[in-house]
Homo-oligomer: A and B are copies of this chain.
């Protein structure tokens, strides 16, 4: 199966074995159409038998293309990203690209540093939810083909999940359940998504004429949620929008610790719909992101960018998923 374990199989070994020149072997793989059918098949057969694998370094050197794309995430341990990584990886492999994963560990400077390090090594870059300011990003990216996920940067192709409609729907849902006083537990200022979500909720609250108190910023993490819980209790809101599911889980724990029940005392809405959202108790009402599409679109856009096409900005809609963390307000509380 693995073929002769001689030395190392190159196009030259194959050429010799087949009695043709190396160029022909090369072409048999890269432009099969221009080599004679018989010859091509003979070459492919021998290559398979010998277990030939083209040397990517050599090819990269000759063509200037590395066959590799970078994927920069702010924090791989944040459960939002693994599914995205997988989706992108699968979409990339269709294009015959390998994916170099880069984790910035949630620190903005690390992002630009990492980009600087890999820019010479990849053909393109996908930057997911970057924390760096636009200017820094633009600076380091330079002329490297890149697409941004979950953030809009002027002049760059991007694909974002638009949660506005779903958050509005969530608001309406809560309103119907009788809630009139809401809290917005804000995410990190550096996060584009946080600003976008906050904007959507503010817009809805204004239109619906309900009371909205903003709390935070809190970290986009379980810990951040734990910190947010007392703040929420200090307000008189009966329903809250957390920046994301992770934070919502922290809030859940914080409220439970304080002896409050969800959804009986408070209703809570998360965002992203990570696995956690359906496994916590109570399960979270949240906005489900179309992760698969996000990935395929990112690769598509990157492909376009590498061909020099104009930057396109795609927005995909999140959808509201109702679960157990939202319920009606106890009668006494509604009419104060």
Q: Which residues of A contact B (CB under 8 A)?
A: 1-2, 5, 53-58, 60-61, 66, 76-77, 79, 81-83, 85-86, 89, 98-101, 103, 105, 116-121, 139-140, 142-143, 222, 249-250, 252-253, 256, 275-276, 278-281
Greatest chain B CB density within 10 A among A105, A118, A121 is at: A121
Partner pick for A86 among B105, B143, B222, CB 8 A cutoff: B105
Enumerate chain B residues within 8 angstroms of A281, measured Cβ to Cβ. 252-253, 256, 280-281
Enumerate chain B residues within 8 angstroms of A57, measured Cβ to Cβ. 56-58, 60-61, 66, 121
A309 to chain B, nearest CB (A): 21
Enumerate chain B residues within 8 angstroms of A2, measured Cβ to Cβ. 139-140, 142
Partner pick for A99 among B77, B101, B249, B280, CB 8 A cutoff: B101
29 A-B residue pairs with CB within 8 Å: A1-B139, A2-B139, A2-B140, A5-B142, A53-B116, A53-B119, A54-B120, A56-B57, A57-B60, A61-B61, A76-B85, A77-B82, A77-B275, A79-B79, A79-B275, A82-B82, A86-B103, A86-B105, A98-B121, A100-B100, A100-B101, A101-B101, A222-B275, A222-B278, A249-B279, A252-B281, A253-B281, A256-B281, A276-B276
Enumerate chain B residues within 8 angstroms of A58, measured Cβ to Cβ. 57, 61
The copy count of this chain in the complex is: 2
Q: Contact at B103–A100, with CB atoms within 8 Å? A: no
Q: Contact at A253–B279, with CB atoms within 8 Å? A: yes
With contact pairs A57-B66, A61-B55, A276-B279 given, residues A103 and B120 touching in the complex (Cβ less than 8 Å): no
Enumerate chain B residues within 8 angstroms of A82, measured Cβ to Cβ. 76-77, 79, 81-82
Enumerate chain B residues within 8 angstroms of A1, measured Cβ to Cβ. 139
Enumerate chain B residues within 8 angstroms of A279, measured Cβ to Cβ. 222, 249-250, 253, 276, 280
A166 to chain B, nearest CB (A): 22
Assembly CA distance A5 to B141 (angstroms): 13
Q: Contact at A86–B76, with CB atoms within 8 Å? A: yes
Assembly CA distance A119 to B51 (angstroms): 11
With contact pairs A1-B139, A101-B101, A142-B2 given, residues A120 and B276 touching in the complex (Cβ less than 8 Å): no
Assembly CA distance A222 to B121 (angstroms): 38
Enumerate chain B residues within 8 angstroms of A79, measured Cβ to Cβ. 79, 82, 275
Assembly CA distance A120 to B67 (angstroms): 13
Enumerate chain B residues within 8 angstroms of A85, measured Cβ to Cβ. 76, 101, 103
A37 to chain B, nearest CB (A): 26
Which 3 pairs, one residue from A and one from B, show the smallest C-beta to C-beta distance? A57-B60, A53-B120, A101-B101
Enumerate chain B residues within 8 angstroms of A142, measured Cβ to Cβ. 2, 5
Which B-chain residue is minimally distant from A250 (CB atoms)? B279
A167 to chain B, nearest CB (A): 23
Which B-chain residue is minimally distant from A118 (CB atoms)? B98
Assembly CA distance A85 to B57 (angstroms): 25
Q: Contact at A83–B77, with CB atoms within 8 Å? A: yes
A34 to chain B, nearest CB (A): 25
Enumerate chain B residues within 8 angstroms of A76, measured Cβ to Cβ. 82, 85-86
